[in-house]
Amino acid sequence: MTDPDRAPGFGVYVHWPFCAAKCPYCDFNSHVRHQPVDQAHFVRAFEAELSHMRARTGPREVTSVFIGGGTPSLMQPATVGAILDAIGRLWTVAGDAEVTLEANPSSVEAERFRGYRAAGVTRVSLGVQALNDADLRFLGRLHDVAEARRAIEIARDTFPRLSFDLIYARPGQTPEAWGAELEQAIALAADHLSLYQLTIEEGTPFFALHAARKFAVPDGEHAAELYRMTQQVTAARGLPAYEISNHARPGAESRHNLVYWRYGEYVGVGPGAHGRFVEDGRRIVTITERHPETWCGLVEDRGHGVVDGEILTRSQEADEFLLMGLRLAEGIDLARYEALSGKPLANDRIALLAGEALLAPIGNSRLRATPAGMIVLDAVVADLAR
pLDDT tens, residue by residue, 310-354: 999 999 999 999 999 999 999 999 999 999 999 999 999 999 999
The per-residue DSSP string of 89-124 comes to HHSEEEEEEEEEEEE-GGG--HHHHHHHHHHT--EE
Residue 250 domain-assigned (yes or no): yes
* The amino acid at 44: R
Same domain, 253 and 331: no
Burial class (CB in 10 A: 0-12, 13-18, 19+), 378: exposed
325 shares a domain with 234: no
The answer to whether residue 294 is domain-embedded is no
Residues 122 and 254 in one domain: yes
Instruction: Tell me the per-residue pLDDT of 276-313, one tens digit each, with 9 for 90 and over.
Output: 999 999 999 999 999 999 999 999 999 999 999 999 99
Examine residue 289 and state whether it is found in any structural domain, yes or no. Answer: no
Rounded to two decimals, what is the model's pTM? 0.95
Question: For residue 179, is pLDDT > 90?
Answer: yes
Give the type of residue at 143: H
Residue 103 lies in a domain: yes
Question: Does 320 share its domain with 252?
Answer: no
pLDDT tens for 53-84 read: 999 999 999 999 999 999 999 999 999 999 99
pLDDT of residue 3: 66
In a domain, 366, yes or no: yes
> 382: number of CA atoms within 13 Å, CB side?
4
217, 329: one domain: no
What is the domain count for the chain?
2
Dmax over CA atoms of the chain, in Å, equals 60
Residue 4 lies in a domain: no
Residue 282 has a pLDDT of: 94
In a domain, 43, yes or no: yes
> Is 161 a residue whose pLDDT tops 60?
yes
151 and 217, same domain (yes or no): yes
Domain at 369, CATH number? 1.10.10
Residue 252 inside a domain? The answer is: yes
Q: Which domain holds residue 345?
A: 315-385
Angstrom distance (rounded) from CA 124 to CA 65 = 12
Q: Do 251 and 196 touch, CB atoms closer than 8 A?
A: no
137 and 239 in one domain? yes
* Cβ–Cβ under 8 Å, residues 29 and 17: yes
Residues 7/264, Cβ–Cβ less than 8 Å: yes
